[in-house]
Structure formats: structure tokens, C-alpha cells
């Protein structure tokens, strides 16, 4: 298990190579091959979960090799308490999304090959500890994502795909410049993140501020934070179901993960100075803004997409609080939002596959037609609105309690949005599931075994973490507390 993180990252790429060699017409073979390629990373993730040393704040399972010696670029991977939660989430959602993609009929080989490439890139982002390597994986996600949205997406897929591509690239080129500036600030020049973190005291003040903002813009586009969020509703709505799940479940977390790892870890002084406006106030604004937008949507999927903006606002607010409770709540919220929103997009996909539209007003009384579907959907949506006993409640409460100690006003604003959230969720449920059954959909079949198979593991996690969040909190508490101390002491 010496190379566990490498295996987790590159097994999907090996799977991609195998898929590319299969005949294009063998649809089932391709699907099963791709699905099997996501199993080893999932099993390794479970092993990682069991064997991760929770008492350590530093990086574990490190692998460190020279890559391009003349420029001091290294292959350097490892996990700490912050990234391990994301690694677990990535392995789980990649596996689930393979089965959520079973209905793909168009250019099957291309879809699954690109999907596996995307898997590898996502895993790479969370385990990379060399800034250059991190950047490569970060950018590597763009290509498969562009094609996955652009070829297999909805009616406005071309627009959505290029918009996603341009926004993200614009953000990441700023990161490239910041990365180079950090590299040259050290002698000898290095991309090693642990060294760049250790050298934080050597960065001049103004240098930190400019770099922090450049990096923040890059990451904020990914989160996405207002005003960089406009790509999200387009991309999420046009993408095929499984890709929406990946987008909302994993890609959005890369924004906040990047801020924690790089902005917090390398630029503590700027973080302490700028967090109030850029993370706290903006986060609180996002919570309210996302909720209000969600309330105005008539499209089921768009509603879920805007709810993501709102929920990611809690992550930002929690990160800005600099209290152990708030920051742990933030990372827990990243994990919980990953599972909950994945369920929501899967559920939207289920109904879209049957009714071929997503207009909320077009449904009604689905509870009597699809009782089992309604049950699962109720669980997921109640989790999304933060019902006590389900996972998102814990993380949102932790965030609000943590943030209250520093920013009472922002916290009050954020907390009041819970009412808005309840409003749009309940109103949507009333229109879709309750009321008089729409005759047109009387014959819709209930949720099938495959769909249930994709939803069940997530539902179990949502319920368990709802009253026993310790398994996830224990993983990250050491690393987050030490990061928090680091920024406060910076």
C-alpha cells in the first residue's frame, strides 16, 4: 500500500486505456469495464479511511519523486485531514456516477473514456502536493468536462460547455501566474507545497495580498461565488445527470479546497486580513442570493443548481470564522453537500428520464404515482433544507455556531436564509409530489433497482452522519485545528 494514492489516481487512466481499445459497438462491455475501473479506487479509499492516522495533522501516505529535475518539478502526493474527506467523496461519487451513466446511448466509448480521465484528474487535484502537479490536474479536468457537457448535454450544451471552459480557464491562468511568483520567491526555486507553506513568513505583505486575490478569483470561479457564478446554472442544467453530480458534488469543492490548501496554507497574513470580506461577507451573501434565485426557478434542475450556490456559501462563511467549530463545519459541509446534492441531481435525472422535461409546474401528485421515488426524494430534500437528524443540519449548525463568535451579523443573515431554503424546498415538493396527480404521468414506472443502487449508499451516509458525524470529523479535526492555529498565529 506504499503507492496507494498513485493507484487511486492512475487506475482510472488505465481503465480509460482499456476502454479505448474495446470495440465501439460493445456498449455493455465498455460500461462494465469503466465501472470496474472505479472499484479499486473505492476499495482503496475505504482502506485509506480505516488506516488514516487521525492523531496526525501533517501529510500521510506521501510519495515523492523527481519529475523534471531542471525545473525542480516533482511528483509529490499525500493526504491530510482536509484532503482525505475529498478523496473519499471523489472515489465514492465516481463509482456511483458510472451507474448513473448507464443510460448513455450516444458515443458510449467516448463518454466512458472521458469520464475515467475526469476521475483521475479530480483525484489528482486532491492528492497533489506539488503546486505544478496540482495545476496540471486542475487543468486536466477541463478537457473531459468540456466534451462531456458539450456532446452529451442538453439543448444548450454548446453554450454551457464553452462558458464553463472559458470561466474556469480564466481563473486558472491567474493561478498559474501566482504559482510562478511563489516558485521564484524561494531559493532554491520550488513547487513543493509543504516548503511553500513553511516559507510563509518570507513573503512580503503586498505580495501576499496580490497573490491571495489572484488565487481567490481562480478558486471563487470554481466554488462558484458571486459574481463568478453565472457559468454554474448553465453547466449544471445542460450536463447529463452523472456529470451534474460530479460538477456539484466534487468540482465545486475544489474551489474551497484550493482556498484552504493554498490561500490559508501559504498566505496566512493575507487570509487573516481579507477573509472577512472575501469569504465571510461574500459567503453570507451567497447563501441568501442562491436561495432567492432557487426560489424563482421553474426548472427542477436549475433549482438544485442554485441551491448549490447557497450551500457553498456556508462553506465560505465557516472557513472565514477561524474557530475550530466553524472551520470543521465548513469542511464537513463540503462533504455533506457532496452527498446531498449528488442525490438531488440523481433524483432530478430519474424524473427527467421518465418525463423528458423538468418543469416543476408540469408535475403534480407524483407521490401517488411513484411512492418509492417520493420517499427517497423527501429524504434528500429534507437533508438539503437542513432538517435535524440528517447530515447537512450538523454541518450548517457547526458553521453558524462557529461564525457567530466572530461575525454575529453575517451569521444572522446566513441563518435567516434557512427559512428561504425551507421555502423553496417545501414549495417545490408541494408542486411536484403533492396535489392532484397529473393524468399524463399516471403510467410512470417507479424508481428502478439501478437508480436505487446509486442513491442508497448516499442516503445511508446522509442518515448516519446526521446523528453521528464523528467518523468524518475525526478525520479532519487535527489538520484543521492546526491550520486554524497557523492562520491565527500568522
Partner 1 sequence: MSIGNIQSLGYILPELVLVLGIVAIFLIDLVVSDKQRLGEIALATVAVSLLAAARLAATPDAFLFNRMIVQDPFAVFFKVIFALSAMAAIWMSLGSREIKGANQGEYYGLLLSSALGMYFMASASNLLMAYLSLEFVSLTSYVLSGYLRHDRRSGEAALKYLIYGGVASGTMIYGMSWIFGLAGSMDFAQINTALTQGNPNQLALFIAVVLTLAGFGYKISAVPFHMWAPDVYTGAPIPITAFLSVGSKSAGFALLMRVFYPALSRPGADGTWQFLPGVDWPQLVLVLSMVTMTLGNLSALSQRNLKRLLAYSSIAHAGYMLMGFVVLSNEGLRAMMFYMVVYYLMNIGAFLVVMIVANATGREDIDGFRGLAWRGGAAPAVAMAIFLFSLTGLPPLAGFVGKFYLFAAVVRQQFYFLALVGVINSVISLYYYARVVRTMFLDFPDGTEAPVTVSAHNGALMWGLSAATIVMGVYWAPVVAFTNRSLQFFTG
Residues contributing to the site for partner 1 (CB under 8 A): 67-71, 135-136, 139-140, 142-143, 146-147, 150-151, 157-158, 161-162, 165-166, 169-170, 173-174, 176-177, 180-181, 183-184
Shortest distance in whole angstroms from residue 62 CB to partner 1: 22
Cβ burial 79-107 (10 Å sphere, 16+ → b, else e): bbbbbbbbbbbbbbbbbbbbbbbeebeee
Residue 142 or 401 having the CB closest to partner 1: 142
C-alpha cell at 276: 472577512
In this structure, the number of other CB atoms found within 10 A of the CB of residue 184 comes to 10
Segments in 356-407 forming alpha helices (H): 366-369, 371-384, 391-404
C-alpha cell at 278: 472575501
Residue 77's H or E segment, with its range, is strand 73-79
Helix (H, G, I), strand (E, B) or coil at 63: strand
Cis, peptide link before residue 31, omega less than 30° from 0: no
* Cα–Cα dist 2/7, whole Å: 10
Shortest distance in whole angstroms from residue 486 CB to partner 1: 26
* Cα–Cα dist 33/16, whole Å: 9
Residue 162 or 355 having the CB closest to partner 1: 162
Residue 173 or 296 having the CB closest to partner 1: 173
Shortest distance in whole angstroms from residue 167 CB to partner 1: 9
Residue 109 or 354 having the CB closest to partner 1: 109
Shortest distance in whole angstroms from residue 285 CB to partner 1: 26
Residue 184 or 277 having the CB closest to partner 1: 184
Residue 142 or 426 having the CB closest to partner 1: 142
In this structure, the number of other CB atoms found within 10 A of the CB of residue 17 comes to 12
Residue of 251, 374, 394, 252 whose CA lies nearest to 310: 252
Residue 7 or 67 having the CB closest to partner 1: 67
Residue 96 or 174 having the CB closest to partner 1: 174
Residue 39 or 143 having the CB closest to partner 1: 143
Shortest distance in whole angstroms from residue 274 CB to partner 1: 20
Which residues face 359 on adjacent strands? 299
Handedness of CA 267, 272, 273, 277 (dihedral sign): positive
**Contact criterion met (CB below 8 Å) for 29 and 111:** no
**Contact criterion met (CB below 8 Å) for 101 and 453:** no
* Cα–Cα dist 490/487, whole Å: 5
Shortest distance in whole angstroms from residue 136 CB to partner 1: 4
Cα separation of the two ends of the chain? 36
Residue 9 or 328 having the CB closest to partner 1: 9
Shortest distance in whole angstroms from residue 445 CB to partner 1: 30
Angle value at C-alpha 271, between 266 and 273, nearest 5 degrees: 140
Shortest distance in whole angstroms from residue 147 CB to partner 1: 6
* Cα–Cα dist 306/130, whole Å: 33
Shortest distance in whole angstroms from residue 317 CB to partner 1: 30
Shortest distance in whole angstroms from residue 481 CB to partner 1: 34
Amino acid at each position: 500500500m506504499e503507492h496507494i494514492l498513485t493507484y487511486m489516481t492512475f487506475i482510472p487512466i488505465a481503465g480509460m486505456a482499456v476502454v479505448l481499445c474495446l470495440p465501439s459497438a460493445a456498449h455493455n462491455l465498455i460500461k462494465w469495464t469503466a465501472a470496474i475501473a472505479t472499484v479499486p479506487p473505492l476499495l482503496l479509499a475505504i482502506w485509506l479511511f480505516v488506516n488514516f492516522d487521525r492523531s496526525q495533522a501533517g501529510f500521510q501516505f506521501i510519495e515523492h519523486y523527481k519529475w523534471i529535475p531542471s525545473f525542480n518539478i516533482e511528483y509529490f502526493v499525500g493526504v491530510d485531514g482536509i484532503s482525505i474527506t475529498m478523496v473519499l467523496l471523489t472515489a465514492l461519487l465516481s463509482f456511483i456516477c458510472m451507474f448513473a451513466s448507464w443510460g448513455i446511448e450516444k458515443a458510449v466509448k467516448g463518454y466512458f473514456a472521458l469520464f475515467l480521465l475526469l476521475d483521475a484528474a479530480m483525484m489528482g487535484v486532491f492528492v497533489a502536493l506539488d503546486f505544478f502537479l496540482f495545476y496540471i490536474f486542475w487543468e486536466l479536468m477541463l478537457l473531459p468536462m468540456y466534451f462531456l457537457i458539450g456532446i452529451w448535454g442538453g439543448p444548450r450544451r454548446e453554450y454551457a460547455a464553452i462558458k464553463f471552459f472559458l470561466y474556469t480557464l480564466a481563473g486558472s491562468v491567474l493561478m498559474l501566474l501566482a504559482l510562478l511568483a511563489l516558485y521564484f520567491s524561494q531559493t532554491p526555486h520550488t513547487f513543493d507545497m509543504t516548503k511553500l507553506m513553511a516559507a510563509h513568513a518570507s513573503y512580503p505583505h503586498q505580495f501576499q495580498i496580490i497573490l491571495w486575490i489572484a488565487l481567490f478569483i481562480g478558486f471563487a470561479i470554481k466554488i462558484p461565488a458571486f459574481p463568478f457564478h453565472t457559468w454554474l446554472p448553465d453547466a449544471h442544467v445542460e450536463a447529463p445527470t452523472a456529470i451534474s453530480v460530479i460538477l456539484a458534488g466534487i468540482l465545486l469543492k475544489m474551489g474551497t479546497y484550493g482556498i484552504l490548501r493554498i490561500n490559508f496554507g501559504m498566505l496566512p497574513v493575507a487570509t487573516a486580513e481579507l477573509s472577512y470580506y472575501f469569504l465571510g461577507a461574500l459567503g453570507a451573501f451567497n447563501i441568501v442570493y442562491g436561495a432567492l434565485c432557487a426560489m424563482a426557478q421553474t426548472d427542477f434542475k436549475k433549482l438544485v443548481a442554485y441551491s448549490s450556490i447557497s450551500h457553498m456559501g456556508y462553506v465560505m462563511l465557516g472557513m472565514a470564522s477561524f474557530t475550530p467549530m466553524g472551520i470543521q463545519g465548513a469542511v464537513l459541509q463540503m462533504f455533506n453537500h457532496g452527498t446531498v446534492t449528488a442525490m438531488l441531481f440523481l433524483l432530478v435525472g430519474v424524473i427527467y428520464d421518465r418525463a423528458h422535461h423538468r418543469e416543476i409546474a408540469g408535475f403534480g401528485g407524483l407521490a401517488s404515482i411513484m411512492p418509492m421515488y417520493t420517499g427517497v426524494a423527501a429524504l434528500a430534500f429534507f437533508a438539503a433544507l437542513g432538517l435535524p437528524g440528517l447530515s447537512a443540519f450538523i454541518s450548517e449548525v457547526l458553521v453558524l455556531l462557529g461564525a457567530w463568535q466572530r461575525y454575529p451579523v453575517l451569521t444572522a443573515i446566513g441563518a435567516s436564509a434557512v427559512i428561504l431554503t425551507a421555502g423553496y424546498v417545501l414549495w417545490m415538493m408541494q408542486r411536484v409530489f403533492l396535489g392532484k396527480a397529473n393524468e399524463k404521468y399516471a403510467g410512470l414506472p417507479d424508481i428502478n433497482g439501478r437508480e436505487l443502487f446509486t442513491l442508497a449508499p448516499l442516503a445511508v451516509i446522509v442518515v448516519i452522519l446526521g446523528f453521528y458525524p464523528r467518523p468524518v470529523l475525526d478525520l479532519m479535526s487535527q489538520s484543521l485545528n492546526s491550520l486554524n492555529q497557523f492562520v491565527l498565529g500568522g
